[in-house]
Amino acid sequence: MKFSTLLISFFISINAFTQDDSTILRNIYDMALLQGNGYEDLRSLCKDVGARITGSAEAEMAIEWGKAKMESYGFDNVRLQEIEVPHWERGTKEAGWIKLKDGELIKVNMLALGGSIGTNGVLEGELIEFKSLDLLREADRKDVEGKIVFINQPMDAKLINTFHAYGGCYPIRGNGAVEGSKLGAKAVIIRSLGLPVDPHPHTGSMRYADSVEKIPAAAISTMDANMLSDLLKDRKANFVMEMDCRSYPPVKSYNVIGEIKGTKYPKKIIVVGGHLDSWDTGEGAHDDGAGIIHSLEAFRILKELDYKPKHTLRVVFFMNEENGNMGGKSYASIANELKENHVAALESDRGGFTPRGFSCDGQVCHIDLMQKFEPLFEPYDLHVFEKGYGGVDIGPLHDYFPEIPLYGFVPDSQRYFDFHHAPSDVFENVNKRELELGCAAMASFIYLLDNTIEQAKNK
């Protein structure tokens, strides 16, 4: 048989979805929208447990919560996977204010960046503003030394995909302290990575380099950043800050794992999940409580519909995505040690907003396969099925299973960075129907993947 004939046969086979497939998707959506548990489960995670920073008592409580939920829904082989994770604490609430030459004081909304050192009491220094990290790198040491650097680089509002805007600004948070320290700065404050102008500061991970001195790093709200930038146009000002954050030795923690055993390929695993940890502000509702609920509820719905998967479906609540990704790294390493056969992975870590589709970090055959799902999702307004990103937690699987396709759930991105890593990331800011639609989309995608992934592998 010629290659072209084989190719045509392949596409016919994966296009041959039946009326039963459409009916199953309709049943999944009906279950999610009419008999869903997702919203109340998210309420419990946010309100009964709360913020879940790695190494905290709340993170350990969330692990027990996750295990109990999986057991209550009758998942198979529910267990905890021991891992080692970093431990950083914010300490007492940060304080930051502007001090003008005439004695006027202006308090600002500020959060220490995750991993920052403390200020060892009150720290004060003259402010110097840079509109980008590149401009800081180009500065003369004599202009920066002994001062507090203020990096005021906004996210690019003209970019439709807000994750692209976030990626363009991430270096000011990740590398700002290193670049400031190279020039002798006392500390660094950055404009929060968020599109709206509001009073909510956004935290997030940052890094240090062994080659330069560690200096404190914090984010101020976009509203305060605008005010401070306007003030510095014609006046000098000092910034005063106090932070009590510190790092501790690594601690023991766990990923939470449950399964629905496969009937035809029980040794072949499709892994689905999100991250159980969150930053210590807000309640981690969108980041990533929604992803945890998408995964949990998708499996519950499939169980309720008495679906018997071909592959073993495994749900994982990963610990420590935010400041180390030790849950994802450890899971992949252990899977390799156990010689497990992972054939696909799916992650939700982009919030609980209206579903738009899915992306794929994989080979052409896997992207083609996903795009064949689009007609089945058309009645549910999903239209994004494209090459893209899988997720932080499942990313390390590529180190051990280089051919595995990594799929990412893609919701609408316009409001995600209103809440990302901010005190406003609370349960009340998650829409019930949007969350339920996400749960249904995840369950439907898992069902379709389970029934077609072997055909893509055989292309």
Q: What residues act catalytically?
A: 321
Give the residue among 407, 340, 334 at the shortest CA–CA distance from 80.
Answer: 334
Q: Specify the pairing of strand 406-411 against strand 110-112.
A: unpaired
Tally helices (H) and strands (E) across the chain.
15, 16
| Residues 53, 319: Cα–Cα separation, whole Å | 9
User: Chain centroid to CA 417: how far?
Assistant: 11
Radius of gyration for the alpha carbons in the chain, expressed in angstroms and rounded: 24
Task: List CB contacts of 349: < 8 A, sequence separation 6 or more.
Answer: 274, 275, 287, 288, 291, 321, 391, 392, 393, 408, 409
CB contact burial 304-313 (16+ within 10 A = b; e otherwise)? beebebbbbb
Give the residue among 263, 266, 265, 267 at the shortest CA–CA distance from 339.
Answer: 267
Are 312 and 451 within 8 A, CB to CB?
A: no
DSSP strands (E only) in 131-204: 148-151, 187-191
| Residues 218, 190: Cα–Cα separation, whole Å | 6
Length, in residues, of the chain:
459
CB atoms near residue 361 (< 10 Å): 20
Are 312 and 270 within 8 A, CB to CB?
A: yes
Q: Is the dihedral of CA 449, 453, 456, 457 positive or negative?
A: positive
In the numeric block, the tokens 């600002």 are attached to: 108
State the burial class of residue 173 (Cβ atoms within 10 Å of its Cβ: 0-12, 13-18, 19+): buried
Greatest Cα pair distance, the chain, in angstroms, is: 86
Are 147 and 401 within 8 A, CB to CB?
A: no
Are 283 and 334 within 8 A, CB to CB?
A: no
Are 268 and 311 within 8 A, CB to CB?
A: yes
First to last CA, the chain: 14
